[in-house]
Structure formats: structure tokens, C-alpha cells
Amino acid sequence: MSKSIAGFSKLSKSKKIDWIVDTYFDNTESAKNVLKQYWNNNEKLQQLHDEFIENTITNYYLPLGVAPNFLINKKLYTIPMAIEESSVVAAASKAAKFWLDRGGFKTKVISTTKIGQVHFTYNGDFEKLQQFFTQVKPKLIHDAEDITRNMKKRGGGVVDIKLRDKTSDIDNYYQLHVSFETLDAMGANFINSCLEQFAKTFKSEALAFDLFSEDEKDIDVVMSILSNYVPDCLVRAEVSCKVEALSEDHTVSGEAFANKFVQAVNIAEVEPFRAVTHNKGIMNGIDAVVLATGNDFRAVEAGIHAYAARQGKYSSLSHAKVEHGIFTFWMEIPLALGTVGGLTGLHPLVKLSLELLHKPSAKELMQIVAVAGLAQNFAALRSLTTTGIQQGHMKMHLMNILNQFKASDSEKKVLTEHFKNNTVTHSAVTEALNQLRVTSEK
């Protein structure tokens, strides 16, 4: 029976674990052993991990793999990917190798502007509010100088502040819509600190504005927060080659492959049920690199999916065409990333991943991440339109199934060889493993 607890956060880690295993597990020793076996033997490193979040009881490991042979703007990369899903790293690597001999990936950053908003209500005449905003805008920027000084020295800071009337959506609702340049930092803390200072100044200055009535002076700030929707923080990635160069064997011509590939992308552009899965494949590549480099993959996911629905209907993030005998596959996506601040300077594997990527700037990382997503999408569509997605995916999933049934090293060796020429399904692996074990017992 579950029970509540007071003061849990104040308990030591061992006391937290004692309460958890005593409350929720029948075999308390087994549960404790599982939790403790993932602790790091290096006490300082474990303490570092413990302090990343609250109420830490253990570490949750994800595999960190690498995908080599990515040629991006004529520069070679090996891309780190932290992910648990089978076939993602293999697919990215295969796509990288495919395009290595066809000119590689070409990328460019279109813009890097990020957004934050002060949401407030005002019950009064809009023209007066506009007059007040025009008057107070320079002071908003001035009062935030202690926060923006260092960012401005590096070439960033507040780009602009606009007043937005949102009363058609909610009565008396307005915004200060603020654009920022945060350079190599993702900038969340910087943006939020600026916004809270803007809100404080805006509210206090309203009390002294002569044109406001007493009711109009009572501006109510609801919240001040950055937006993870960054449609003006865009990067483009693309690949292209002659159509005939797409053919790797004689069973499918380059033209047939290109036509079917383009048709598959067109379907994702018009059919939301397909687009969601299509874009999920893109995010397999993007999230894995975002996570490996210590960035916020939840924010990236939210912003990208919102961008995919910006026309009022959820659609494909990637696009493809054939023109004048040239196949082109490309994508433009919003990415707010950082290479300084946050976990980038704390997590040892994040530091290693960034060093592996030649210590990129935020702009360079945007391009690398976009390429990982495009490569993943290309690999998935290539499988879907030729052999089918399951052939490659299930072969990669084979080891997970064997581990699930605690197969020995010798059993894994025999069955890996067996399924080189046989279709991998969960039932087929189960049957083959059972037959192998029966044979071994005789």
C-alpha cells in the first residue's frame, strides 16, 4: 500500500532509497541493488550527477554511440548520438556514407533570433497603452542593462520589444513580445531574467503614467517567460545529386527510386497521420544529438512540431524534388541550441561530445543537428520505399530480443548468424531460441 511522506527532499539519498524500496517493492534488497549498481564509483562524479536534479536516487543510463563519415560543408564529422532505440545510429551512419561520395550535406543558418514574452492584462484605452509603451520602451532596455551588459559585449542582447494586442483572443490580454540574440548560449536564463526585469519596470512605470486612469494603472503581469517556439531561429540542411547517382544496385533505377522517394515525401506533406511518424523519424536523429550535447530536447521537440503545424495543418518538415535531372532533399527547421552554459560545461560526456564535434559554435551545432535529422529521414524513407522498414530495423532489434530472453553469448552467436538470411520477428526469434535450447539439452 502506497503512503505519503513529509520532508522527503530533506532525507539523505540512502534514506530516500530505504523509503522507496520499503514502500513499493516486495524484494527490497533486489530493488536496492538495481539502484546502486548504476551509481558511479567516482564519488565526485556521482555527486555532480546527484546535483543536476532533485531527489536523485540513481543514474539512468542511455547508450552514447557515434555516426561517422558525415561530410557537412566539405568538413568531416563523427556525430555523437545518445539514444536507446535500435537502428537509429546505424541508419544515420548509412545515410552519411551514402552521401559522402555524392557531395555531402550542405547547410546554412538562416536566422538566430529567439523570443520571450511578458503576458499581461490591461483594462483601458489601447491608444493610451500604445503611448505609454512608446515612452517606456527605452527605460525597459535601460533597466535591464545589468543583465544584458555581458551579452551585448559579445554582440548579442535584446533585439527589439513590441507591444501586441491579443484582446481578440482573450479580453484585456496584451504582450510585450521581445526578440533576443543569445549567440552561443541557448539563453533561457538570460531571456527569462530580462523579461522579469521588463515586467517589473513596465508595471512600476505604469503607476506614474499621467494619461492612465487609476484603473488603467493597475496592469496585471500574468507571467514572463521565454518561448520554445523559435520560427526565426532557422537552419537549412540539404543533399542533392544527379538522379542516376541514386542507384546503388541494378534492381532499382535512380529515376524509379527518386520518383517513389519524392512521392513518399509528398504524402507526408498532405497527410498528418503519416507526417507525425515521418517527423518522428527526423527527431530520432535530432534528439539523439541534442541530448548528447547537453541541450534541451523537450524544448527542441516542442518548437519543431509547432513549426510543422505553422500553416494550420501538421505537415512534413522535409521536402524533396527532381528538377532537370537533379534530386534534391532538404529541410528547414527551428533550433535554439547552446554550446556554453547549462550542462555543456558540467557533464563530462557533453564536453567530450562537443570536443568530438570540433568544439562548435551554436550556429555550427544547429547545422550538425539538422543534418542528423535529415540523414535519419533519408535512411528511413529509403528503406520504406525499397526493402521496407522492418527488414533493417528488426535485424538491429534482434539483440534486444535475445537479451530479453537472457540468451548466452554462444546462443547470440548462433542466432545472429541464423537471422542473417531469415526474417526477424519476435515470434521467430523466440521459436529459434527455444529450438536451440532444446537441441543443446539433448
Tell me whether residue 142 is one of the annotated catalytic residues: no
DSSP SS3 for 195 = helix
What is the residue type of 219? I
- List Cα–Cα distances, 59 to 40, 41, 46, 50, 303, in angstroms: 8, 12, 9, 8, 28
Q: How many Å apart are CA 401 and CA 358, to the nearest integer?
A: 37
Specify whether domain 64-108+235-386 bears CATH 3.40.50.150. Answer: no
> What is the 8-class DSSP label of residue 155?
T
The answer to whether 296 is a known catalytic residue is: yes
Do the first three CATH levels of 64-108+235-386 and 114-226 match, i.e. the same topology? no
How many Å separate Cα 202 from the centre of its chain? 34
Q: Which is catalytic among the residues 85, 205, 255, 269?
A: 85
pTM here is 0.87
Catalytic choice (49, 278, 347, 393): 393
Q: CA triplet 424, 429, 433: central angle to 5 degrees? A: 150
Grid coordinates in use for 31? 530493488
Which residues are CB-contacts of 74 (< 8 A; sequence separation ≥ 6)? 104
What's the first-to-final CA gap in the chain, in angstroms?
47
137 is catalytic: no
The domain locations on the chain are 8-50, 64-108+235-386, 114-226, 393-441
Burial of 440 (0-12, 13-18, 19+ CB in 10 A): exposed
Q: CA–CA separation, 92 vs 99, rounded Å?
A: 11
- 114-226 topology per CATH: Alpha-Beta Plaits (3.30.70)
Q: Catalytic site residue 18?
A: no
C-alpha grid cell, residue 127: 491608444
> Which of 280, 305, 321, 418 is an active site residue?
280
Give the pLDDT score at 433: 82
- 43: amino acid identity, one letter: E
Q: What pLDDT is attached to residue 316?
A: 98
Query: ∠ CA(412), CA(416), CA(417), 5° rounding?
Result: 120
Pick the catalytic residue from 184, 287, 296, 364: 296
Nearest to 329 by CA among 291, 278, 272, 284: 278
The confidence score (pLDDT) of residue 1 equals 58
pLDDT of 424: 78
Per-residue pLDDT tens digits of the chain, which is 442 residues long: 568 999 999 999 999 999 999 999 999 999 999 999 999 999 999 999 999 999 999 999 999 999 999 999 999 999 999 999 989 999 999 999 999 999 999 999 999 999 999 999 999 999 999 999 999 999 999 999 999 999 999 999 999 999 999 999 999 999 999 999 999 999 999 999 999 999 999 999 999 999 999 999 999 999 999 999 999 999 999 999 999 999 876 678 999 999 999 999 999 999 999 999 999 999 999 999 999 999 999 999 999 999 999 999 999 999 999 999 999 999 999 999 999 988 888 899 999 999 999 999 999 999 999 999 999 999 999 999 986 555 555 556 687 788 888 888 888 888 888 887 777 777 888 888 888 787 877 6
Strands 157-165 and 75-82: unpaired
User: What's the full length of the chain, in residues?
Assistant: 442
